[in-house]
Amino acid sequence: MQQVKMRRVFNAIGMMFLSAIVACSVAFSQTPDSAAAPSPVVVGGFVDTYFSYNFDRPTSHTNQLRNFDVTENQFKVANAEVSITKAAAPVGFRADLDFGPTNDLVQTGDGGSLANVGQAYVTYVAPVGSGLTLDAGKFVTHMGMEVIKAKDDYNYSRSFLFAYSIPYYHYGVRASYPVSSTFTLCVHILNNYNGPAVNNGKTFGFQAVFTPTSALSLTANYIGGPNLPDSVSKKFRNVANVMIMYQATEKLGLSIDAVYGQDNRETGGVNLWKGAAAYIRYALCDPSVVTLRGEIYSDPEGATTSTIQELREVTLTYEYKVASSLILRGEYRYDWSNAAGVVKSFDGDSGPLTRSNQATLGVGAIVVF
């Protein structure tokens, strides 16, 4: 009888050890690193090409008042990009390699191999509340509605606000946190207002995005920092940007982009620039969309355009998606300035001719992969 009791005790102890081993094995197999499959590395990109015709027939074959679609009456490759990304889970990264005249213009401050790196940053989602996203490296600016990549814009040509009033890219760190389901904050600490150069002190960026409904988005942006080599606590460049996007109906979208900037001159005094652009976007049918953009941009000291002037433009763009990977855009644009001699051409008989306006037709073809 005693032996039977002892066998039962040993059997119970054995079952306890076996259960413990199984439990440990299951727990070990379910650690975060092995339970969740790592996010895949994704390779994508695009090729952006265009043709522009200027009715002023400039002998330089150059469109004035533009930053990317500057070449006239020639077929051009504007930009080609290969993008390698890995979604943060909780660590990820992004690397964009860009080639072409658009990238050459954007990357004027970078040299060597970094001149072909549009973006390169690592991401970590920290387990803080609903998730604090941290990025470190090189990334495009948070300012403005329009972006460097034509595939992500409404129109093909970029606005004056994009070309003159805001920076292109930065080196630094940024932190983004969803305060609620409708409100997100993002803070940037950057080397400089634009590009890699370092002034005395750091440049700071701020973004607040409020989406009270699925149809309405309100964004407030700021960037500020020393714009003179001896600036530490004063003489900042400050640029504020407000964007409103409203999807009025299933087919009709309305947007406003407004910018106000100022900085200090080395000789004393303050430079100011400001402007606003309005967008009306209407989906004609599934593959066809029409976008009308109108804007006004004021540069009273000539700080951003090198000419004291007020610029205005109207652009009408028709977009047709032949397939999910091919975007075609046809565009008519009219620019004018209140300063004489801004647009340069040549009439062949009386010598140089200068104008204050220009009209262009353009076609863009973008393949996305």
Q: Could you read off the pLDDT of 256-313 as tens digits, one per residue?
A: 999 999 998 878 889 999 999 999 999 998 899 999 999 999 999 999 999 999 999 9
Does residue 194 belong to any structural domain of this protein?
yes
Has residue 27 been placed in a domain?
no
Q: How high does pLDDT run on average in the chain?
A: 88
Domain assignment present for 22: no
Residues of the domain holding 256:
39-368
| Number of domains, the chain | 1
CATH number assigned to the domain comprising residue 166: 2.40.160.10
Residues contacting 104, CB < 8 A, separation 6+:
115
In a domain, 165, yes or no: yes
What pLDDT is recorded for position 58?
Answer: 86
Neighbour-count burial of 178, counting CB atoms closer than 10 A to its CB (0-12 exposed, 13-18 middle, 19+ buried): middle
- Which residue in 311, 355, 315 sits closest to 337, CA to CA? 311
Domain membership of residue 8 (yes or no) is: no
Report pLDDT for 22: 33
Six token digits for residue 187: 């803070």
* The CA-based dihedral angle spanning residues 107, 113, 119, 121, taken in that order and rounded to the nearest 10 degrees: -140
- The per-residue pLDDT for range 165-186, each reduced to its tens digit, is 999 999 999 999 999 999 999 9
Is 279 among the domain residues? yes
CB-side exposure of 10: number of CA atoms within 13 Å? Answer: 6
Task: Give the confidence band of 353 by pLDDT, cuts at 50, 70, 90.
Answer: low
Nearest to 145 by CA among 251, 79, 214, 221: 221
- Can you give the pLDDT at residue 322? 93
Is residue 360 within 8 Å of residue 72, measured between CB atoms?
A: yes
109 within domain boundaries = yes
Looking at residue 231, its pLDDT comes to 60
Say what the pLDDT of residue 19 is.
41
Q: What's the mean pLDDT in 223-243?
A: 83
Assigned domain for 126 exists = yes
Q: Residue 365 has which token pair?
A: 């073809």
